[in-house]
Copies of this chain bind each other. A is one copy, B any other.
Amino acid sequence: MSKGITSRSEDYSQWYNDLVTKADLAEHSAVRGCMVIKPYGYSIWEKMQAALDKMFKDTGHTNAYFPLFIPKSFFSKEASHVEGFATECAVVTHYRLKNDGNGNIIVDNEAKLEEELIVRPTSETIIWNTYRGWIQSYRDLPILVNQWANVVRWEMRTRLFLRTAEFLWQEGHTAHATSEEAVAEAEKMLEVYADFAENFLAVPVVKGIKTANERFAGAVETYCIEALMQDGKALQAGTSHFLGQNFAKAFDVKFTNKEGKLDHVWATSWGVSTRLMGALIMAHSDDAGLVLPPKLAPIQIVIVPINRGDEELARITEVVDKLISELKAKGIAVKYDDRDTQRPGFKFAEYELKGVPVRVAIGGRDLENGTAEVARRDTREKQSVSREGLADYLEQLLDEIQKNIYQKALNFREENITKVESYEEFKEILDGKGGFVSAHWDGSPETEQKIKEETKATIRCIPLNNPQEDGVCIYSGKPSKQRVLFAKAY
């Protein structure tokens, strides 16, 4: 099987698909729109989960688990929520199969559910129905719960990690006594996501709020982090919603406040998903394969012997064993690939494809000279390095690579935020380099919708702490108080 992948300039979309499948991250399954996350891809997701889970717990959250199924009647209780999700719901209608007598397995029509069950596309409804039993008084608040789960949204056009019918995610669902506290929670979790994106994924993000058109179905305010991919398209990497009292009202969740009065509970929800795998891949990788930030790389350093014969291999292995124990003591994930069934060049290509941040090669001459060849994946630079203090050097190198990958992505992002003053200029940028386009907008959903129809660009967000300045809307010419960020998006 050839490991060659299409280049980005040739066909960015094909490059992405090649990379995901050939680096063994994921593949399409036999079930329309559902993916198989392969072991290597899943091990990256596990690293993301571990980092996020720690951040959630450090901010006072605990995990719980709610049912996969949502009764249709619950789903319908919050009007804008059901409107947002109704067209992409997998519906369970029966609970038994049977043999039709001719050896065929068919659905047993006698086992029809009285009420259909929806496979959760998100869990606000089932969770708020549960919270009704958990909350009586302000003493029961806040509830700070997160769930790691699979969800299903029946997308018609799917892409591995970016848009799949089933995906894995976490969804936080919190309940609060006051509006202020809920808003503060939604903003805090946005900060957690931004921190994770920048410090683990090494992906710079713009924090902002969504326009009404782009808001989560059922939210009062949707906060988001928006990242920029190498092809100039934006990707929403995480959202945090202030839900007001919408779900508490729909599910009759009231509490007695400190003044002894009954009030509806205030809510937030927030989530990131396996979509982040897509962001990770598209933000950093190159035509040779994945480029993984060291903090999320399942293998951070791979060591390859370049030996002539078994005797030399034994001497190299002796040196390597010592290095490995030093690296492991530092908590570094290291792999020694001494397979004799593959040549070094094959191994080099394989680890480049898989995005291993650092490759160390040791040959006969290195043994003599007390050196090792160190190659970094991000810049693809190779260097002969003394084996004296090599473990320390490599530890620092991993830090440097993490920073460099982020800096490179940040530079790209900064170069690709373009201020425009006219609709002509706006369209020119979108059809050219792409990226974020910072433009005045009159604030109306109608203008937003027309721009979307004409250019496929959406308002990605109104950045937080957005500078206020007088201007005119690029589309309508009406007065505007601020610029917003447009982009074509995944």
* Residues of A participating in the B interface, judged by any CB pair closer than 8 Å: 27, 29-31, 34-39, 42-43, 45-46, 62-72, 74-76, 82, 86-99, 104-105, 107, 116-119, 126, 129-130, 133, 139, 145, 149-150, 152, 154, 166, 168, 341
Contacts and interface: CB of A to CB of B under 8 A. Distances in A.
Nearest to A86: B97
Nearest to A149: B150
A36 B65 CA distance: 6
Contacts of A82: 97, 105
A471 to B, nearest CB: 40
A65 B117 contact: no
B91 A118 contact: no
A107 B95 contact: no
A63 B46 contact: yes
A71 B39 contact: no
Nearest to A97: B86
A34 B72 contact: no
Given A36-B64, A105-B86, A152-B68, A94 B96 contact: no
B119 A36 contact: no
B91 A87 contact: no
A60 to B, nearest CB: 11
A233 B91 CA distance: 38
Nearest to A46: B63
A275 to B, nearest CB: 14
A119 B31 CA distance: 12
B65 A37 contact: yes
Contacts of A91: 92-97, 107
A68 to B, nearest CB: 5
B93 A93 contact: yes
Contacts of A37: 64-65
A163 B94 CA distance: 20
26 contacts: A30-B71, A30-B129, A31-B67, A31-B69, A31-B117, A31-B126, A34-B68, A36-B64, A68-B119, A68-B152, A68-B166, A72-B105, A72-B107, A76-B104, A76-B105, A82-B97, A82-B105, A86-B96, A86-B98, A89-B97, A90-B92, A90-B117, A93-B93, A96-B154, A97-B118, A107-B116
Contacts of A98: 86-87
A56 to B, nearest CB: 12
B119 A92 contact: yes
B87 A107 contact: no
A65 B96 CA distance: 25
A68 B37 CA distance: 12
Contacts of A150: 68, 149-150
Contact of A126 (B30, B76, B93, B129): B30
A113 to B, nearest CB: 9
Given A87-B96, A94-B93, A97-B87, A38 B67 contact: no
A29 B97 contact: no
Given A75-B105, A76-B105, A105-B86, A65 B42 contact: yes
A157 to B, nearest CB: 14
A34 to B, nearest CB: 4
A31 B70 contact: yes
Task: Name which of A37, A38, A88, A95 has the most chain B CB atoms within 10 A of its CB.
Answer: A95
B154 A95 contact: yes
A70 B166 CA distance: 12
Q: Which of A42, A72, A82, A104 counts the most chain B CB atoms within 10 A?
A: A42
B27 A39 contact: no
Nearest to A168: B65
A149 B96 CA distance: 21
A43 B69 CA distance: 22
Nearest to A30: B129
Contacts of A145: 39
A337 to B, nearest CB: 15
Given A30-B126, A90-B92, A39 B67 contact: no
A119 B91 CA distance: 11
A89 B93 contact: no
Nearest to A67: B34
A89 B99 contact: no
A36 B130 contact: yes
Nearest to A130: B36
A63 B39 contact: yes
Contacts of A95: 88-91, 154
**Of listed A30, A72, A74, A145, residue having the most chain B CB within 10 A:** A30
